[in-house]
Structure 1
Amino acid sequence: MTNENLEYRNFADFASSKVGELIPEADPTANRLSVALNRVSHLLTYDFDASIHRPEDSSWAAYRVIFVVWLAGPLTPARAAELTGMGKSAISNLLKPLLKQEYLIQEASAEDRRSKLLSLTPKGEEYINRIFPQQNKLEAKWSDSLTSIEQDLLISLLNKLLNGKRAEEVREQRR
């Protein structure tokens, strides 16, 4: 394949073969997998942000925080960071506008007054109830490329990666 034929869609295959030529001891399949996963993740994030969240003066990152508080809250900011897969500093930066927009409130925990808990406000509940159906429709458009069996298989394989040794090591580094 020449670089004139390269496109975003086929670059992972090209990179895999080129890496194999340039670095014989490399694992081109691992490289192909990571490039492909990264590209799909970036396209999903861009689509979610551009199609849904930016038009609402929000972001995919802010939605993820609201989403986990909606489903699992009240939560400490550290627990919200863990459940979203974000760093504590990213959560801290996102909390300022989310509190100011009155989507979330932060109150002292009844068990430990030093600990703060995040909860949805009525405005936050209205937001998530309005935005989640849009988000889910877009997720379904992405999923429609796969049969239901393929979707289940992909979920299983991605969960296997998430539960693998390296993923655990990286989660430990982030704590």
Structure 2
Amino acid sequence: MTTQPAGPDGLDYLSFVDYAVARTTRELPSVDPTAMRLVLTLHRVTSSLVYDLESAVHRPHGWSWPGFRVLFVLWLAGPLESKRVAELSGMSRAAVSALVNTLVRDELVSRHQAEHDRRAVQLDLTEAGHKAITGAFQAHNEREQAWTGALSKPEQTILIGLLEKLMHGSDDAEPKKRF
């Protein structure tokens, strides 16, 4: 917990968490400030991390964050039907479909009719797509290391375990998960 700024004028993206928790709990005393702080902080760190990865690595390659996610899934698990790409990337089918048009145009992904079902679309990386994603992933992982370098290896392991517990541990959140 950091020192709370006197008012909204002195806030920045991260200090807003302290301000938001303090203001919310004053107005709504029944709010759990720890849960609120955890979710706000997790969201803001994730957003900052994604922005950094996208601006430092993916945009220079001509991709958005969602474009990278599709290429990443196809690289590691492809070829796949588009609905499986959507599922594994945490995106909607419509978003994947629209994104694949760009990736096909850029000759990074090929799209074919699935053999087992003429209505299904099979996606695969092209040779250029494979070369692009493997090359970009080196830079991506360097940024990952820069972000995680603030934590020791044991702290990283603990945080991974805690995040996995959070991801898998809530029965109340189950119906609202993307996967």
Q: Does TM, scored on the shorter chain, surpass 0.5?
A: yes
1:168 aligns with 2:174: yes
**1:56 counterpart = 2:58:** no
Deviates further, 92-101 or 111-120? 111-120
Structure-2 separation of matches of 1:93 and 1:158: 31
Deviation at 1:81, TM superposition (A): 1.0
Number of aligned pairs?
173
1:101-145 Cα shifts (integer Å, max 9, x gaps): 111111222333332211110010110111000000001100001
Give SS of 2:122's match.
strand
Gap regions ≥5 residues in structure 2:
none
Give the letter for the 1:165 counterpart. D
Matches within 5 A, 1:1-175: 1=4, 2-3=6-7, 4-163=9-168, 164-171=170-177
Give the gaps of 5 or more residues in structure 1. none
Q: Percentage identity across aligned positions?
A: 39
| CA drift at 1:28 | 1.4
- List structure 1 runs of 4+ shifted beyond 4 angstroms: none
- State the distance in 1 between where 2:147 and 2:114 align: 39
SS at match of 1:117: strand
Contact 2:107/2:128 (8 A) holds in 1 = yes
Residue 53 of structure 1: how far off its partner (Å): 1.2
TM-score when normalising by structure 1 = 0.91
- CA distance in 1 between counterparts of 2:103 and 2:16 reads 38
- C-alpha RMSD of matched pairs (Å): 1.6
The residue type paired with residue 174 of structure 2 is E
Local SS of the residue matching 2:48: helix
More off after superposition, 11-20 vs 150-159: 11-20
- Work out the CA distance in 2 between the residues paired with 1:6 and 1:28: 19
The question of whether the paired residues in 1 share the 8 Å contact of 2:82 and 2:120 is answered with no
Under a length normalisation based on structure 2, what TM-score does the superposition of the two structures give? 0.89
Contact 1:161 1:167 in 2 (8 A): no
